[in-house]
Amino acid sequence: MATPRSTVLITGAAAGIGRATVLRFARAGFTVGAFDVDEAGLASLAGEAGGQVHVGHLDVTDADAWRAALDGFAGLTDGRLDVLVNNAGVLASGRFETIDLARQQRMVQINVGGVLNGCHTAFPYLRDTPGARVINLASASAIYGQPELATYSATKFAVRGLTEALDLEWREHDITVRALWPLFVATAMTDGMHTRSTDTLGIKLTADDVADDVFVTATSPLRFAGVHRAVGLQAKALFAAAQVTPGRLLREVNRFLAAPR
């Protein structure tokens, strides 16, 4: 449960995982900063969540916009930032050569650049808040490069690497950095999505499932926690297997999952 001053800033907050995460932290008594480019979604979120939630427009690819958002939220929290949740992300599925290049570049800008911008600009607030935590939304697609999700998968590999490095770098500042690894989640991002992997594995997780794991990662003792947390039984099984599976066999597993049915 939150202390009277516990604070969290969440990106991609207007819908899906972000919205569910905002509501989960608000129910626990956190002061929540909810940011997105979807102002209509933010307005409905504010109406649903009540006074604990402060909404604002934020394009995560814009570092100056990050600074303004953080400065405004810090003004409400006496500069305190206990938890940063880098959730904003986009997805395009299909064969690599068929997806417009500009759309793929936009995935990189949001999924990687947004996390990089958030971590860098939030650092002074995290450093000055004892025991601060950063939670980056990665994906089970960062276990091994996924056919029909090539660029999305690559962005999540980048999030994985950044998370691991910053958790080591920022230990001296009492900042913990973690990555969450859900498989496919039933949100607008996967509506109408048909890849061979989704046809094989299905879409089993809800936004609330992921939000609950974000909250646990943000509030549980860290003594036995690893840098990465798989979300859901499927992702946990895949992640555990990947720790002991030779690369060649892991490649064949992914080839099987992506094979025509």
Q: What is the set of active-site residues?
A: 152
Tokens read off for 18: 């972000």
Residue that is written with structure tokens 């999505």 in the block: 193
DSSP H helices in the chain: 16-27, 39-49, 63-77, 101-108, 114-127, 150-169, 196-201, 207-219, 233-244, 247-257
- Burial (CB < 10 A; 0-12, 13-18, 19+), residue 140, is buried
Q: What does the alpha-carbon distance between residue 173 and residue 182 come to, in Å, rounded to a whole number? A: 28
Residue 118 structure tokens: 């958030």
CB-based contacts of 7, cutoff 8 Å, min separation 6: 30, 31, 32, 33, 73, 77, 80, 81, 82, 83, 129
- Close Cβ partners of 174 (under 8 Å, ≥ 6 residues apart): 130, 131, 132
Backbone φ and ψ for 69, nearest 5 degrees, come out as -65, -45
Residue 136, sorted as left (phi over 0), alpha (psi -120 to 50) or beta, turns out to be beta
